[in-house]
Structure 1
C-alpha cells in the first residue's frame, strides 16, 4: 500500500503472538519473498537486464571510477576463475586486511561466485601496531590461503607478519612492498582453463560466503559462519516489507565498514539485490573524515541513507549552515535508516524538519535490530512511526522468543533462515549460542512499545549481560539507565558508562565532548571546565530526585580526561563502547569514583 506521509509502497506491521511455557512467540504475518540461491544470481540478472547501470563506484582523483553491472560481472567472473585455478574453495579463506574499496568489493564478490569465503577485518587491526594482537588472533584462527590489501606499502607492517609466511599476498598498489605480492590486476586476467560454469553451479545456499568476526567486547572475537542462504534470505526478508525497493533501483553513498555486517552485508547486498548503485564514501563521521563525506554526498547523493547516530548528528550540524548539502541530501531521499544505538530525538526531529523544507514530505525513517550472527536484520520498522528508539517487528520467516521479567522487559531469542549455524573452529561456543529449542541466545533485552498492541513493535532495552547487582542484591538494568543518563545529559557529554557492580551505589564514568577539556587529555593533568562540571552535577541531581529506587539512582560521577582508546580496545570496530574493557583498564579511576574524599568526584 502507498503510504500518504512518504509516498512509498510499504507493508504495515502485522504480527502473530502465541504463549508457550511462559514465553511469548512472535512472528510476522507478511509472506516471505522468493530467495535466490546465491549472490551471483543477482549479479547475473542485472548484468543481463541493466548492463550499463552503475553498480560500484569510488572516488578516483578529481572524479569517480564507476563500474556498470556488466563490467562488474566480467571482473567478478575473472577473479572467480583465478581463485578456482589456484584450487581455492570453502576450505581456503581469503583475509581482507584493508578497508572499503572497489577492488575489495570485486574480490569479495568474485570469491562468493567461486564458493571461497572471505574474512574482512577492521583496517585498524592492520594499521595500528598496538592492535596487531587482534590480527594475529584471526590469522591463527582461520589460516588463510590468501590475504588482500589495497596498498602494500601502507599495510607493509601487517603483511610482513610471520603468520602470513607462505600465504599469497595480493595488493592493488604494489610499489615499495616489503614482501612478495601478487598484483590485483593478475586476478582480473582470469583463467580460461577453468570450468567456471561448473564451479559456480556448486555454490548453493549452504556455501560459506564470509567469516565475520565479532568485536569481542568481553572475550576473543568469534568468527561467524555466514552462508549464502543467510545473506540472500535476509535481503528477501527486507524486500518483503519494503516493496518500494523493488520499484526503482536504490542508490547509496555509504562509509560503513565492510568488516561489519551492517555495511558489508546489509547495505552492500541491498544494492546488488535490487540493481542499485553503491558509491563508496571515503569519509567517515570523524573530525578529519567528515569533510570528505560532505563533498561526496553533494556529488552523488543517495535515495537511501544509512548511518550510525553520531553520523546523523554530524550531518544535521553541518546542514544547519550548508544549504548545498541539505538540498543534495534530501533532494531524492526515500529512506533514512539508523542502527548501532538509539538516535537522539532532537536529531530525528531536525531531520524531519529539513526533509519537509526541501522535499515537502518525509522520507521513511526507520531502524532495526540485528547481530553479526543474524546476517543482520531480524526485527525491523517498516511503517512510519514518528519517533526514535523503536526496533520494529519480526521480519518474514523469523520467529522471536521473548521471555518476560517482572517489568515487562523480555530477553530476546531468534530463529530464521538468516541465523548462523555456528562459529568458525569453535564447536563449544557454537553449541552454547543456542537454547534447547534451537533459538539463538542474543543476550539482548527488549520491551513492547505498547503491551496491548504488539503490532507497534519493540524497543531495545539493553544487554542482559551488562546488568549487574548492587551490594544490596538489587539488579541494575545498565543499558536502560545509560540511555536515560544520556538523555538527561544531552548536549553536555559524548557518552557514559554505568558502574556499580558489587558496590553500594550506582556511579557514572563520563566521557565529555571533544574540546571540553584543557591540557593533556591522556593524563590526569587535564583541567575540567567548571561550568561543565556544574551543569552535569545539576542535571544528575534532577535525575536522582526523580528516581524511583536505588536501581535507577546515580549518586556519583567522574569526568574522564582521556577519551575512549581504540588501540586499547575500549571502542569496538562498530564504534560502540567496550564497557568491560573500559572498567577493567581504568580500575584506578573506578576506585576514585567510590572514594568520597576525591576532589574530582561529583556527588549527587
Structure 2
C-alpha cells in the first residue's frame, strides 16, 4: 500500500486546502470499456457468483456478463429506450441486476437502483411513488415480482416497461429478462458504445431523502472510473492480484455499487454476492459463506463487524478462511468503535501473527464515493485520512468547526432534475459542500490525517447557549459504554442537559446481562442499566462540562428505519431524522418516564 503525503495551502482567512502530491493516472474511457477489456483479456474468469436455490454457487464469467450486457443493451435500443430516461431497479443485488446495470450503461442509458426497502418495508409506498414519478424511468427491473406485488400495484406503469426474471407471464405487459437476453446485437449497439465517454451519465444514485424527496445524484463514468484508478494507485496489491470479495453491501448505495462492485471490475476480480446481512438471524449466512470463500480484502460497515465478531471468535473454520488470503479490512459509514478495532486486531494476530491494515475513507454518493484514504494506524478511530490522487480537500472555518469541502474528477455534476439543489451544493470555487466537519489529528503535522468531526448541521446549543458537538460526543459514548451501545443519537437542543437515544447492541448487551435475552428485555435489564450508569459515570467524571456530560439515556427497541431516512446513504445514523421521527421518545427521556431509561447521576 502506498502513502503519498499531502500538500498544504494555508490562507489568511483560516481556510486550509489539501491536495495529494501524486497525480492521478490515465483513466479508462468508461466502466463499459473496463468490462470489455477484461472480457477480452480473461473471458473465462469468474466475475460474479451468487447462491442458487440449491445453495450452490451460480457463476458468470466476464464473457458471460459482456454477452448479457450486449443483448440487454440491444433490447433497450430496440425498445426505444434512451439516455433521457433511466432504467430503475427495485430488487436486491444479483447477477441479473448486474446484467441490467451493465446492459443499460452499454448503450448510454442511466441505471437507477432504488432501495428495496422503499418497496418491501413501506406501507404506503409514498417515497417509491415519488421517486418513480420524479425520475420517470422508461423501464423498471424487478428480479422476482412476487414480494413486490403491493409496490407494483402502487405504481403508475403507463409508458414504462416492467422487466422481471421470473413471473412475467402473470403480469400484464411485463417482459421476461430471458427475452432480452436472447436478443442479438447489431451495428447499432457498437454505435451506441462509441458515443459513451467519461462525461456520460452511468448511474443515478438516490440519497437517503431524510428531509423530503431523495435526490438523484448523477454519477458519470469519469466519477466512477477515476475513483477506481485512484484506489489502485493507493492499494497496489489490487493491481498485483485480482481481488476476491464476499460482499452484501447494496448496489443502490455508492459503497456497494461503486466502491466494491467497480473495484472488482476495474481490477479483473471476482465478487461473491453475500445473502447475509448485518442483523441478528442473517449474519449467520455471512459466516457460513466465509467458511467457503477466502476474500483478499473485506469491506463492511461497523455494525457488520460488530455482529460478525462474536461468531468469528467461536468459529475456527470461518476465521481460518477469512484470514487466509486477506490483505486488509475496510470500513465506512461510521467510525469503527475502539473495542471492535481491538477485537479485529486480536483475531488477526491470533490467525496470522501480525496486524492487518484496517482502513477507511470519507465520501458520499456525490463523490462516487471515496475522496480520502487511510492506510496507516491512526491515533483516532475517527481519522479518515488524506486526499486521494487527483482529489482536493478544503477546510473552511464554520463557527467553531472546520467544514470539509471537496473537488476532483470524482465529484458529481449535480442532481437529476433538481437544478436548484445542484447550485446550492457547490461553493464559488466549485468545491462540493459535503456537510461534514473535520480537524487535523495533529495540528502541527497534517500528514497524519483528518479526523471526522461530525456533521456541520447536527450540532446544537443547550439552553445555556453552549454548543454540543454531536459527532464527537456520540463516539465517546459508544466507546465509554462498550459493548452495549450499537449507535446513539445525542439529545438536548434547547434543554438544560445532554441525553442519548440509544440503539443497543444485542450481542454486547447479552454479554453484559448474561443469557440470550431479546431486545425488549434488554432495554429494561438491570445489569445493562448498571453498566451504562457506571461507564457513563466515568465518562462524566472525565468530561464534566455541560456539553459533554451525559445525564440520561433511553434504550430503544425499534432499529433505525431506512424508509424514514434514519440511515443516511453513507450508512450512518441521521441525527436530525431520528430526533424528528422519535420526538415523543425525547420528551419521555426528559420526563424520566419508563423502565428503559437510565439516569446517570
Normalising to structure 2: TM-score of the pair? 0.93
1:541 is aligned to 2:537: yes
1:159 is aligned to 2:152: yes
Distance 2:84 2:186 in 1: 22
For 1:12, the equivalent position in structure 2 comes to 3
Larger displacement relative to structure 2 (176-185 or 480-489) = 176-185
Assess, with a 3 A threshold, how the Cα gap between structure 1 residues 405 and 452 changes in structure 2: closer, same or farther.
farther
Residues 252-290 of structure 1: CA distance to partner in whole angstroms, max 9, x if unpaired?
Answer: 010000000000011000111011111111111112211
Assess, with a 3 A threshold, how the Cα gap between structure 1 residues 511 and 162 changes in structure 2: closer, same or farther.
closer
1:555 is aligned to 2:551: yes
Q: Contact 2:113 / 2:205 at 8 angstroms: preserved in 1?
A: yes
For 1:230, the equivalent position in structure 2 comes to 223
Q: Contact 1:394 / 1:400 at 8 angstroms: preserved in 2?
A: yes
For 2:560, the equivalent position in structure 1 comes to 564
Distance 2:64 2:592 in 1: 67
Distance 2:358 2:194 in 1: 39
Q: CA RMSD in A?
A: 2.3
1:494 to 477, 486, 490: 486
Distance 2:164 2:432 in 1: 38
Deviation of the 1:243 alpha carbon: 1.7
Aligned residues: 592
Assess, with a 3 A threshold, how the Cα gap between structure 1 residues 344 and 470 changes in structure 2: closer, same or farther.
same
For 1:532, the equivalent position in structure 2 comes to 528
Distance 1:301 1:596 in 2: 49
Larger displacement relative to structure 2 (449-458 or 95-104) = 449-458
Residues 219-264 of structure 1: CA distance to partner in whole angstroms, max 9, x if unpaired?
Answer: 3311101111110111111112222211111110100000000000
Q: List runs of 5+ in structure 1 lacking aligned partners.
A: 1-9
Q: Contact 2:339 / 2:483 at 8 angstroms: preserved in 1?
A: no
Deviation of the 1:176 alpha carbon: 6.9
Deviation of the 1:572 alpha carbon: 4.5
2:247 to 248, 251, 254: 254
For 1:393, the equivalent position in structure 2 comes to 386
Residues 117-172 of structure 1: CA distance to partner in whole angstroms, max 9, x if unpaired?
Answer: 01101111111242611111110111110000110222222222342233110001
Assess, with a 3 A threshold, how the Cα gap between structure 1 residues 260 and 567 changes in structure 2: closer, same or farther.
closer
1:350-389 aligned at under 5 Å gives the runs 350-385=343-378, 388-389=381-382
Q: Contact 1:13 / 1:456 at 8 angstroms: preserved in 2?
A: no
Deviation of the 1:535 alpha carbon: 2.1
1:182 is aligned to 2:169: no
Distance 1:14 1:526 in 2: 46
Q: Contact 1:153 / 1:175 at 8 angstroms: preserved in 2?
A: no
2:79 to 79, 86, 107: 86
SS of 1:400 mapped into structure 2: strand
Q: Contact 1:254 / 1:306 at 8 angstroms: preserved in 2?
A: yes
Q: Contact 1:169 / 1:182 at 8 angstroms: preserved in 2?
A: yes
1:461 is aligned to 2:457: no
SS of 2:170 mapped into structure 1: coil
Distance 1:386 1:48 in 2: 45
Normalising to structure 1: TM-score of the pair? 0.93
Distance 2:459 2:380 in 1: 26
Deviation of the 1:527 alpha carbon: 6.8
For 1:512, the equivalent position in structure 2 comes to 504
Deviation of the 1:86 alpha carbon: 1.7
Q: Contact 1:298 / 1:325 at 8 angstroms: preserved in 2?
A: yes
For 1:4, the equivalent position in structure 2 comes to none
Q: Contact 2:403 / 2:437 at 8 angstroms: preserved in 1?
A: yes
For 1:26, the equivalent position in structure 2 comes to 18
Q: Contact 2:227 / 2:370 at 8 angstroms: preserved in 1?
A: yes
1:451 is aligned to 2:443: yes
SS of 2:19 mapped into structure 1: strand
Larger displacement relative to structure 2 (128-137 or 202-211) = 128-137
1:62 is aligned to 2:55: yes
Q: Contact 1:130 / 1:567 at 8 angstroms: preserved in 2?
A: no
Distance 2:464 2:389 in 1: 44
Deviation of the 1:385 alpha carbon: 4.6
Assess, with a 3 A threshold, how the Cα gap between structure 1 residues 80 and 341 changes in structure 2: closer, same or farther.
same
Deviation of the 1:582 alpha carbon: 2.3
1:75 to 49, 65, 68: 68
SS of 2:406 mapped into structure 1: strand
1:45 is aligned to 2:37: yes
